[in-house]
Chain A
Amino acid sequence: MAIVIQPYRPEHEPAVAEFNQRLRQAGADENMTFYRHAQPRWLPRTAESRIYNEFFVAIDGGIVRGGYALKSQEFLFPDERIRSIGYYHHPLSEGIVNKAHAIVGTLLLRDAMQRAPLLYCLGMGGYNNPLPQMLVRMGWAHCLVPFFFRVVNPSRFLRNIQALRASRARRFLMDLAAYSGAGWLGSKLFHHYRALGAPSSPAVESHEVASFDTDDIARSVQSLWEQARQTCSFAAVRDAEALRILYPPAQTHLTRIVLKRDGTPIGWAVVGERRSDSKYGDMRVASIVDCFALPGELFSVVRSATETLERQGFDLVLSNQNHQAWGAAFKAAGYLPGPSNFIFAASKKLAELLAPFDEVRPRMLLTRADGDGLPANF
């Protein structure tokens, strides 16, 4: 039987359930399951939607052997044109548990490249994983999206951060620092030192809003997009309509912040609590998921977003930011760069429009919001 890749429809759901069951029975990681429902719950395609998700399945004689998701979204390009491009995510092949289906992974990726030649991948967990290795082998342009973190509660950080507590000696020293107060003191000194070099900016008004959809807020974010888009060489369109779709009021776990100075909007941010992850122990971890601002106002936005999360009682704040100006703003606000495993990769056709990649890359606006992290996996 020939393998056919086609849109995932409700009649495929029983075969997808069997596919998921075969993966589980063969010992695949419990996260390795394909979507149970054919209709995407996040960004389903509608007649008028500009940002939408679609699912595709690889079917071999009625048996599902794999699948992938494709998000379509408008991006601003270096030539200032707006194009709709594809984001390839959640590919899953039975080849991971049965070599007889080794062919499926390549088929899925090639199929996505045919449907959306301007295609990108984001995240992927580092270069050791099969997908980024495939993309590199296929000649995709790629880079790591820098990762930043700010320790709010040093004591809980020292007692919970698993990556640093790798040996008994380290655990002992970190516990000592946590319980003696040395960690707290060190953190205070660091943030005090950083604050000395931080840009001074007049106070801003920070407004937490339930939605980007009200007239006043929509006008503000639309105006910000139009004024500041030229600071980016490549960015997902973040106009009022896009924010309305990406951050609907129903996502109550997200906090939307609009910053104004003297009544004039200067930027916005979306923040939220990160899903629990064993590598952070029982810390409360938040993420600055997305942000945008007028030139010169980035630091104010990062600082306000951070203060909001500190008030909410988080122990650690994380963010992935590719744009170099945002990276500088995060550092000025007391964030430290950490090792990143968050990869951006662009298909050859997409990379042609981002050439020269090394020159375009520093001003590409890429955050967790451009991946599959929304609505909850950030």
Chain B
Amino acid sequence: MTASVFEQVRNVASDIFGIPADKITAESSPETIENWDSMQHLNLVLAVEEKFGVQLDPEDIEQMKNIGAVAKLVEKLQSATR
């Protein structure tokens, strides 16, 4: 996972969950972020799609179990479209 993509995902998550980016790590998940409920998960999916210009299938969404996994997924999808 590149630092650049991780940083961008972290900033997206910071906006959605309303917590400082420096409090978000690759391991941050619904179990460690209080605001990460079903609604905010959808918001995260939509924000990632918009920010990175990717389309997430249910199989992709299923992998979004923590912030690090989201960043890895974005990298994978971006490299697949190049």
Which DSSP category, helix, strand, loop or mixed, fits chain A's interface? Answer: helix
Closest to A104 in B: B38
From B20-28, B29-37, B72-80, give the one contacting chain A.
B29-37
Within 8 A of A (CB), among B18-75: 29-31, 36-43, 45-46, 56-59, 61-62, 64-65
* Contacting pair B41 A102 (CB below 8 A): yes
* In the complex, chain B residues whose CB is within 8 Å of the CB of A137: 39, 42-43, 46
* Contacting pair A111 B58 (CB below 8 A): yes
A163 at the interface (CB under 8 A from B): no
* Contacting pair A2 B62 (CB below 8 A): yes
Taking A106-B45, A110-B58, A111-B58 as contacts, is the C-beta distance between A130 and B39 under 8 angstroms?
yes
Closest to B34 in A: A99
User: Most chain-A CB neighbours within 10 Å: which of B29, B59, B65?
Assistant: B59
Per-position binary interface string of chain A over residues 92-130, scored 1 when its CB falls under 8 Å from any chain B CB and 0 otherwise: 010110011111111101110010000000000000001
Closest to B40 in A: A102
* In the complex, chain A residues whose CB is within 8 Å of the CB of B57: 110, 114
Chain B's interface size range is: 20 to 34
* Contacting pair A107 B58 (CB below 8 A): yes
CA distance A100 to B36 in the complex (A): 9
A134 at the interface (CB under 8 A from B): yes
User: Most chain-A CB neighbours within 10 Å: which of B38, B41, B45?
Assistant: B38
Closest to A99 in B: B30
* Contacting pair A95 B62 (CB below 8 A): no
CA distance A328 to B62 in the complex (A): 47
* Contacting pair B46 A103 (CB below 8 A): no
Closest to A114 in B: B58
Closest to A1 in B: B62
* Contacting pair B38 A130 (CB below 8 A): yes
CA distance A370 to B35 in the complex (A): 35
CA distance A99 to B37 in the complex (A): 6
CA distance A5 to B58 in the complex (A): 9
* In the complex, chain A residues whose CB is within 8 Å of the CB of B56: 110
* In the complex, chain B residues whose CB is within 8 Å of the CB of A138: 42, 46
A82 at the interface (CB under 8 A from B): no
Taking A99-B36, A100-B31 as contacts, is the C-beta distance between A3 and B41 under 8 angstroms?
no
CA distance A107 to B57 in the complex (A): 9
A49 at the interface (CB under 8 A from B): no
* In the complex, chain B residues whose CB is within 8 Å of the CB of A95: 37-38, 41
Taking A95-B37, A114-B58 as contacts, is the C-beta distance between A106 and B42 under 8 angstroms?
yes
Contacts A/B (CB < 8 Å), 22 sampled: A2-B62, A3-B62, A93-B38, A95-B38, A96-B38, A100-B30, A100-B31, A102-B37, A103-B38, A103-B64, A103-B65, A105-B39, A106-B38, A106-B61, A110-B58, A111-B58, A114-B57, A133-B39, A134-B39, A137-B42, A137-B43, A138-B42
8 A-B pairs closest in CB distance: A105-B38, A95-B38, A102-B30, A99-B30, A102-B41, A106-B42, A110-B58, A102-B38
By a beta-carbon cutoff of 8 Å, the part of chain A in contact with chain B is 2-3, 5, 93, 95-96, 99-107, 109-111, 114, 130, 133-134, 137-138
